[in-house]
Amino acid sequence: MTNAWTDIKNTDLVVVMGGNAAEAHPCGFKWVTEAKAHRGAKLIVVDPRYTRTASVSDFYAPIRQGSDIAFLNGVMKYCIDNGRVQWEYMKAFTNASYIVKDGFGYKDGLFTGYDEEKRDYDRSTWDYVIGEDGFAVTDPTLEHPRCVWNLLKEHLAPYTPELVEQVCGTPKDKFLKVAEMISECSTPTKTMTSMYALGWTQHSKGSQNIRAMAMLQLILGNIGVRGGGMNALRGHSNIQGLTDLGLMSHLLTGYLTMPSEKDTDFETYMSTRQFKPLRPGQTSYWQNYKKFMVSFQKAMWGDAATVENGWAFNYLPKLDVPAYDVLRMFELMNNGKVNGYLCQGFNPILAFPNRAKITSSLSKLKFMVTMDPLETETSRFWENHGDFNDVDTASIKTEVFQLPTTCFAEEDGSLTNSGRWLQWHWQASSPPGEAKHDSWIIAQIFLRMRELYRKEGGAFPDPILNLSWDYEDENEPTAEELAKEINGRALSDVMDPTDPTKVLVASGKQVVNFSQLKDDGSTMCGCWVYSGCWNEVGNNMGRRDNHDPDDTGAYLGWTFAWPLNRRTLYNRASADINGKAWDPTRKIIEWDGAKWTGYDVPDIAPTAKPQDVGPFIMNQEGVSRLFARGMMRDGPFPAHMEPFESPVENVFNRKMRGNPVARVFASDAAQLGTSAEFPYAATSYRLTEHFHYWTKHNRVNSALQPEFFVEISEELAKEKNIEQGGWVRVWSKRGSVKAKAVVTKRIRPLICDGKPVHIVGIPLHWGFTGSAKKGFGPNSLAAFVGDANIETPESKAFLVNIEPSTAPKDKEVNV
Amino acid sequence: MSTPASTKHTKLGSEDSIRRGPPVEVVRYGPGKRINHWVTAISLILLLLSGLAMFHPSLFFLTELFGGGQMTRWIHPWIGVVLFISFFILFAQLWKLNIPNRDDVKWASQISDVIGGNEENLPELGKYNAGQKFIFWGMASLIIVLIVTGIMAWEQYFGQLTSIPTQRIALLVHSLAAVAIILIFMLHVYAAIWTRGTIRAMTRGTVTGGWAWRHHRKWLKDMAGRGRIDPTK
Amino acid sequence: MANTMDSPRTAVSNPPVQPMETNLTQRDLIRRSATSELPPPERQLTPVAKLIDVSKCIGCKACQSACVEWNDTNPEVGENVGVYTNPHDLTADMFTLMRFSEWINPETDNLEWLIRKDGCMHCADPGCLKACPSPGAIVQYSNGIVDFIHDNCIGCGYCVKGCPFNIPRISKADHRAYKCTLCSDRVAVGQGPACAKACPTQAIVFGTKEDMKKHAEGRIADLKSRGYANAGLYDPPGVGGTHVMYVLHHNDKPHIYADLPDNPAISAVVQTWKGATKYAGLAVMGLAAAGTLLHGLFGRANRVSKHEEEEAKELVDESVEHVEKREEDA
Amino acid sequence: MNMDLSRRSFMKLAGAGVAATSLCAMGFSEAEAAEVAHVRAFKLATTTETRQTCPYCSVACGIIIYSKGDVRKGDHAEVVHIEGDVDHPTNRGTLCPKGAALKDFVKSPTRLLYPMHRKPGADTFERMSWDEALDRIARLMKDDRDANLLLKNEKGLDVNRWTTTGMLAASATSNETAWATFKFAKSIGIVGFDNQARV
């Protein structure tokens, strides 16, 4: 989220699209009802189903899953055509005026440079014209035919209300009503907020869905302002934290990236990351990359990371592919190329698409280790549960370790919420049985491996032997010790750059925040964006001051928000080019002639002059990007693409399937179904009564929503004579499930590209362990393809068939 | 002399007979009927005690007799079932003797003589008089009403059987019927006490010849006429 | 500034953990089941109310969950029968229930998903209490809370018949009646009901009835501004008003919200049963008893005379002789 | 540690007054002794409060855990109740149906209590001691790493990549646990490393 949950009360229009906030985030959604009740804000819901969020909306428009880009591009076109643009903002804070290289273009659903063989684009033309001065050429008048603004208008031209209706199945009048309501937020005094979640990410073009809305928000001037922003409602309590801390194949902490084989040494690695400004005087904050990277390496390997060995650069593995993401790993596993797998609080056989493939992959492992507070289907994937897990136990040779961990109530630590607040929590109860903290388990495995390497030696032991593990009790690092390591400290006295005689941070002291980090090895910091969370002042994540001057919803005294306790990202953009708030009643920060002051921590150097320095300091341009250059694999502008399994053809290119550059493994391509075989468009989602596969272990939530079901329209039920509450079988090219049928008026067939499209809704909370009735998940059916940029599986749009059926059969398990 | 008797018969119970005595005694109820009667009587008494306890707060203390409210609530319907069965065994044996006839009309029309005890003015009667028949049929019909409405109100097993509005009516009818049956019960008991020499009919099973001569002369003559006499006793 | 406003929140402080005297006692009772002479309360507590704004409710069932947790009930895991309402009805282990209705508004032809939190309405004139035969099994406090005192409950189910909203349920386990207590144990220490505290959108709020009515006015105005011309407050006079009220977007037709009664009142049948019948019945029985007693004492008993005994003997002898004579002839 | 459970809250906000009056409505101000208490005894009396956050979604609602026993005093502590934290700016004491039932998550009958081990082909888990399990895991991992760690690519460049063992990290663990996990996984060379953010 660019803004905080509590900031939503400041909005005038909430657009919930690609999410279902009331259902999945009820207490965050509270702030929508506050905005409605006290600002007269309106709520729009655009979704294939009339959801719980829709039940309290002011306007609902149906849409076919996977067609969001067409809808959003349509809205953008409507706003531009009707002059509903916040011109000043758009001109000052976006790259609309930048001139794009000749050669870049878009035709038949494809951008220039497509290579069908490689399923990739040559993106060399997707960039700015660079002048002699080394800066990007711009035309502030926006008259140049090759400026981003004119190219964008050209790109959006086809997205008429008629096309939107044809592609999305949204009736023209409903689309126009939504476009009209949204376009009203183009004035500086009206803001709109976008609340989205996996309804946008779980597509083969998920990143582009989000880009489309972000661009719309920029055109309307709604980024960086109170009650605005792009608000990704993250699913898990600390999914934000684990991303910030880089627990991903392609990441290091704080969005530093893993080296690839191109990064032959530390210097080469740095050369492609310390971005120089593309416009005069811009911040381009990544110029500090080296300070963060060196401090990170020192945090990892301490004294073993020296300037001589390039800060132990070669201790880091180098990638030969963009990432060993989960889809790639399970593909390798299924091909027998993976021997061991550790699942810490993760349930892949319910979480990943094509369950049959996941199960067969796990069956090929030599060993698997699970760490959970609760039973999981994954730790028992080898156990036969009749129809619910029909495996041949004896033939599965995987050795499995099921390790019991503590849960939140039994540990200290911090979690990072969607609004980037790091909130510390305290242990309240004693662990049951022999359950242990994850950090203890990790420490034990690490220490035992290190001991083996010490005794026996082995393959490249250095990064293991030298990993800094200087905790008071190395068997169990405390949350406090780890938090302090994340914040960073001085390894030797750090001098004040302005006065070299003055010690800024004494050796061994915590740095106040990342501004004190150095690239000479004198500081260490586990995760630079978190720096400031536990400095010499103390544990800022434990702060609980809920004062909120003038009720802006900032709550600066409540815990700690990264970066630098900032609550609204890009908040510099809440003020105009001269530093005056666009909307005086919704001021965040303002330029007082000498510095930036206000309710939040400025998202820019406090003394950076408003006219000189752009608000988007992480970008080389200093402005935001309507044109993404070559930074996204599937295009600098969002273009309509169908899901890989779609009930209709792509109207821009009827031969094109899915995202033309998304990676598809051969075996999975063979398992893609067609609308002839599988006529119904399925989608997966959460129910408010449950949290993933956890709460089915809990009697209360199991009582509130006891049994797996699918939702279909009355029309489809009639067509297939399926009765309310009766059993149905739903199957795709990859699997089959049995469920109770919920026949509802909340789902209606849509007319897309001239034919009716029936939607089948499949919630995801059931399995074969726990208190609830045994059931299945949509992942048994979903396709094993991911987003072109970050490989998030396309779990929100796939094809199925459905028929009336009988109850699934269970098998008694000897426990 | 005996012809008149033999011409106009009244109905007789199976065990009805005269013991010559002296003194003359007339067998009115055999042991079976007597046990049956007392089971019914005791059930009825328990029912009205437990029922009244739940009928009016001022009588709630009666629940103590049954070991508290929960027990009372639990036992009341079961006693009802016992009463229903036992009464209808009795009913099967006595209903023929209770079919009204012309004499009953006359008897009823002279109710003042009944209360005044001037039976010489009343017609000679068979085994039962109109009052007794009224009690018999009254009890029978009310017990049916009570068992039916009782079951509707029996939350523990039949709470879902009928709709709540129906159950409300059932409860109203049940309480009205209960009041009625209590009144009849009183009449029954009082009449038995007031008409001296009656109670022994349900204890020893016999009444004196004089009692039969005074209250049910036709019945007595009929037994005599049909030689239902045991000279040895 | 409008946006500095915040909806009324049930809790302004976290619950106390120090031992505390309860503040709802017998001295605060204004009604007690099957009890005629109840001493008047020493003090009048301010009437409280729970306001359920159906238009803000997202049907998340947090209220159900919080209710189960606070009251330590144990609802069973049922099955799906094709609807979101789970369990399928109120039970002795589920005092409150989200009832979902899919309603097509005939005026707009738009679907409206009406979600109503069902549960005890805490009537000012409680039918359950009127019907209850067990002294003190159902009580009403001067703040309006109608509570079941399980120790005094005999499990007869009369409350079920007495309730105009079909709320109480008899436990199959202990045969006692259960329903929402309005969290009397929380209210007694100054905390609002668990459901109201949990409600994420504050569709459920709790406070004094007066404040709740004021809050409702604001909500109704907002709904009217959004085109719900018939938005209104559901506080049915038929039961003397309730201490659980609804804000309905279609207050002209409560029945579309999963059969919420349009004009609830204690059934006339129950009134007669618990009124006239109770008193008249007792009177009649009393009179009858007295009547027979008097007649017994002063009236002349109906005795059999010596003469009648002789008459009987004669008759018997006669017929015996008659029989013997016939035998001789033969 | 900031365990300050200040009762300060949003009194200044309109509407807070509502609840305020409801306090007095109970005659709460005059705390007289009650002879026959009808209502259930208040079950949170004499419990220990601990400030926590809900582990489910990323709204991260504030919660208060009420337990019998105080871990900070070294007692054995059992959760007796969990309720929303009124002082929390986001949820203001409210909770969703999952958060409101957190106690039953902590006390779920399917909580894992002991390390369990499944032998290849076996149809049940068997209990195993922590030491045995951890030693065996470390051995299996080292053997696989030694056998399969790719030290150099075809160009002879150090890549130190271990692709034959992968790991998924839990996006419900704390940042601190995550950091420890990160150090472990990246230092041993695991590249097949992701968390729920990927899906």
Return the residue in D3, D12, D59 with the most chain A beta carbons within 10 A, the one to mutate for interface testing: D59
> Do both D84 and D118 map to the same domain?
no
Decide which of A584, A611, A631 is a domain's last residue: A631
Q: Is-contact D74 A377, C-beta < 8 A? A: no
- CA-nearest of D85, D55, D64 to A414 is D55
Longest dimension (CA), chain B: 67
A337 to D163: CB separation less than 8 angstroms, yes or no: yes
Question: Do A626 and A727 reside in the same domain of the chain?
Answer: no
Most C CBs within 10 Å, among D49, D68, D94, to test the C interface: D94
Tell me which residue in D9, D88, D115 faces A403 most closely, judged by beta carbons.
D115
* Identified catalytic residue from B76, B174, B188, B216: B188
Residue A572, pLDDT above cutoff 70? yes
What burial letters (b/e) apply to A639-668, b meaning 16+ CB within 10 Å?
bbbbbbbbbbebbbbeeebbbbbbbbbeeb
Q: Does the pLDDT of residue D17 top 70, yes or no? A: no
CATH number of the domain enclosing D101: 2.20.25.90
Task: Tell me whether residue D34 is in a domain.
Answer: no
pLDDT for residue D22? 42
CATH code: domain of residue A211: 3.40.228.10
pLDDT at site D107: 97
Domain that holds residue A796: 666-804
pLDDT (0 to 100) of residue C222: 94
- The answer to whether C64 touches A760, Cβ cutoff 8 Å, is no
For chain A, what percent of residues have pLDDT higher than 70?
A: 100
Tell me if D50 sits within 8 A of A428, measured CB to CB. yes
Which of A164-168, A587-591, C313-317, D86-90 comes out lowest in average pLDDT? C313-317
Q: How far is CA A665 from the centre of its chain?
A: 23
Q: What is the mean pLDDT of residues A329-357?
A: 98
Dist CA A111 CA A208 (whole Å): 14
- Facing A29 at nearest CB: one of C59, C69, C200: C200
For A375-405, letters b (16+ CB in 10 Å) and e give: bbbbbbbbbbbebbbebeeeebebbbbbbbb
Contacts of C263 (CB under 8 A, 6+ apart): C236, C238
Residue-wise pLDDT for A69-127, tens only, equals 999 999 999 999 999 999 999 999 999 999 999 999 999 999 999 999 999 999 999 99
Give the closest residue to A349 by CA, choosing from A791, A744, A779. A779
Q: Domain total for chain A?
A: 2
C17, closest residue in chain D (CA to CA): D45
The residues with which A646 forms a beta bridge, in sequence order, are: none
D38 pLDDT band, cuts 50/70/90, is confident
Beta bridge partners of A730: A737, A802
What's the pLDDT at B166?
A: 97
Q: What is the DSSP string of C171-218?
A: -TTT--EE---TTHHHHTTT---HHHHH-TT--EEEEEHHHHHHHHHH
DSSP-derived secondary structure letter, A558: B
Chain D residues whose beta carbon lies within 8 Å of the beta carbon of residue C21: 31-34
pLDDT of A650 above 60: yes
Asked whether the beta carbons of residue C86 and residue A704 sit closer than 8 angstroms, the reply is yes
Radius of gyration of chain A (CA): 27
Structure confidence by residue, pLDDT tens digits, B174-232: 999 999 999 999 999 999 998 999 999 999 999 999 999 999 988 998 888 888 888 76
Which 136-195 residues of chain D touch chain C by CB within 8 A? none
User: Tokens at residue C264, please?
Assistant: 């609830």
CATH of C19-266, one of 3.30.70.20, 3.30.1330.10, 3.40.50.261, 1.10.30.50: 3.30.70.20
Do D92 and D117 fall into the same domain? no
Q: From first to last of its 330 residues, what are the pLDDT tens digits of chain C?
A: 333 345 555 667 899 998 888 888 888 999 999 998 899 998 999 999 999 999 999 999 999 999 999 999 999 999 999 999 999 999 999 999 999 999 999 999 999 999 999 999 999 999 999 999 999 999 999 999 999 999 999 999 999 999 999 999 999 999 999 999 999 999 999 999 999 999 999 999 999 999 999 999 999 999 999 999 999 999 999 999 999 999 999 999 999 999 999 999 999 999 999 999 999 999 999 999 999 888 888 888 888 889 988 888 888 888 888 877 877 776
Statement to judge: residues D128 and D81 lie in one domain? no
Inter-chain touch D104–A328, beta carbons under 8 Å: no
- Kindly state whether residues A146 and A69 are assigned to the same domain: yes
Asked if A194 and A11 touch (Cβ cutoff 8 Å), the reply is: no
pLDDT at position A740 is 98
Residue in the structure block whose two tokens are 């097509």: C104
Cβ atoms of A728 and A802 within 8 Å: the answer is yes
Q: With beta carbons less than 8 A apart as the criterion, state whether B2 and B226 touch.
A: no
* Neighbour subunits, D (≥3 Cβ pairs < 8 A): A, C
Token pair 């050795």 in the structure block, residue = A399
- Name the residue among B172, D168, A676 with its Cα closest to residue C267: B172
Chosen for mutation from C6, C60, C65, C217 (greatest number of chain A CBs closer than 10 Å) is C60
Give how far Cα A481 sits from Cα of A202, A532, C82, D176, D177, Å.
36, 14, 52, 8, 11
Across A429-433, A563-567, A574-578, C34-38, least confident range = C34-38
Residues A626 and A673 in one domain: no
- Encoded tokens for A184: 């009203």
Q: Which of D81, A22, D16 is nearest to C192 (CA)?
A: D16
How big is the C-D interface in CB pairs under 8 Å?
A: 208
| B184/B187 Cα distance (integer angstroms) | 5
pTM: 0.93
Percent composition of chain B: helix, strand, coil (DSSP 3-state, to 5): 70, 5, 25
The residue among A49, D20, A21, D22 whose CA lies nearest residue C200 is A21
Domains and their CATH numbers in chain B: 31-94+129-197 (1.20.950.20)
Residue range of the domain that includes D103: 41-111
Contacts of D10 in chain C (CB under 8 A): 6, 9, 12
Backbone angles phi, psi at A523, to 5 degrees: -130, 155
Examine chains A and B and say if they touch (3+ CB pairs below 8 A): no
Instruction: Give the minimum alpha-carbon distance from D166 to chain C in angstroms, rounded to a whole number.
Output: 37
Dump pLDDT digits (tens) for A16-47.
999 999 999 999 999 999 999 999 999 999 99
Cα of D125 to nearest chain C Cα, Å: 27
Name the packing angle between helices A68-81 and A161-168 (round to 10°): 170
**Residue D199 and residue D186 share a domain:** yes
Domain boundary among A581, A604, A631: A631
Does the annotation count B76 as an active-site position?
no
Give the chain D residue whose CA is nearest to the CA of A243: D197
The mean pLDDT of A270-283, rounded to a whole number, is: 93
Q: Is C239 buried (19+), middle (13-18) or exposed (0-12) by CB count in 10 A?
A: buried
**Between helices A355-363 and A326-334, what is the axis angle to 10°?**
60
* Segments of chain B with pLDDT less than 70: 1-9, 232-233
Q: Are residues A627 and A726 in the same domain?
A: no
Length, in residues, of chain D:
199
Cα D168 to Cα A324, A348, B151, C318, D185, distances in angstroms: 12, 9, 62, 115, 10
List CB contacts (< 8 A) between A37 and chain C: 5, 7, 56, 219, 222
**B1 interface with C at CB cutoff 8 Å:** yes
How far is the CA of C264 from the CAs of B170, C159, C270, in angstroms? Answer: 21, 15, 13
Mean pLDDT of A690-715: 97
D and C touch per CB criterion (3+ pairs under 8 A): yes
Q: What's the order of all strands across the beta sheet hosting B25-27?
A: B206-208, B25-27, B17-19, B229-230
D130 and D163 together in one domain: no
Structural domains of chain D, count = 3
CB contact under 8 A, D177 and A398: no
Cβ <8 Å between A689 and D176: no
Q: What is the pLDDT of residues A507-550, one digit of tens each?
A: 999 999 999 999 999 999 999 999 999 999 999 999 999 999 99
Q: Is the Cβ of C73 closer than 8 Å to some Cβ of chain A?
A: no
CA of C64: which chain D residue's CA is closest?
A: D97
Lowest-pLDDT choice from A82-91, A492-501, A699-708, A729-738: A492-501
Residue D7 lies in a domain: no
Residue D16 pLDDT exceeds 60: no
| Token pair listed for A71 | 């809808």
Q: What percent of chain D has pLDDT over 90?
A: 79
Q: What is the CATH number for A746?
A: 2.40.40.20
Q: Are A71 and A759 in contact (CB under 8 A)?
A: no
- Domain co-membership, A106 together with A216: yes
Residue C50 phi/psi, 5-degree rounding, is -105, 125
Which residues on chain A are in Cβ contact (under 8 Å) with C94?
A: 703
- Selected residue of C161, C310, C326 to mutate for chain B interface (largest B Cβ count, 10 A): C161
Q: What is the pLDDT of residues A358-400, one digit of tens each?
A: 999 999 999 999 999 999 999 999 999 999 999 999 999 999 9
Pairwise CB contact (< 8 Å): C160 & B22: no
Question: Nearest 5°: phi and psi at C10?
Answer: -60, -40
Q: Are residues A191 and A129 in the same domain?
A: yes
Asked, for residue D32, whether it belongs to a domain, the answer is no
Check if the beta carbon of residue A80 is closer than 8 Å to that of residue A219: yes
Say which residues have a Cβ less than 8 Å from residue C196's Cβ, sequence separation at least 6.
C10, C50, C63, C204, C205, C206
Give the pair of three-digit tokens for residue A123. 């993106």
Cross-chain residue pair C6–A38, CB shorter than 8 Å: yes
Q: What is the model's pLDDT at position D14?
A: 28
Q: Are A804 and A727 in contact (CB under 8 A)?
A: yes
Within this chain, do residues D45 and D106 fall inside the same structural domain, yes or no?
yes
**How far apart, in whole angstroms, are the C-alpha atoms of residue A588 and residue A784?**
44
Across the interface, whether the CB atoms of C66 and D95 are under 8 A apart is answered: yes
Domain ranges of chain C: 19-266, 275-329
* pLDDT (mean) for D46-66: 96
Q: Which residues contact A598 (CB under 8 A, 6 or more apart)?
A: A571, A587, A588, A589, A590
Q: Are C241 and C49 in contact (CB under 8 A)?
A: no
**pLDDT at position A640 over 80:** yes
Residues A162 and A13 occupy one common structural domain: yes
For residue A358, what are its two tokens? Answer: 């996941």
D162 & D173 share domain: yes
Per-residue confidence (pLDDT) for residue B119, from 0 to 100: 81
Q: Which helix (H) or strand (E) holds B219?
A: helix B217-225
Report CB contact under 8 Å: C86, A688: no
In A, which residues are within 8 Å of D94 by CB distance? 27, 30
According to DSSP, the β-strands at A750-752 and A120-121 are unpaired
C-alpha C95/C-alpha C98 separation (Å) is 11
* Alpha-carbon span B8 to B226, nearest angstrom: 11
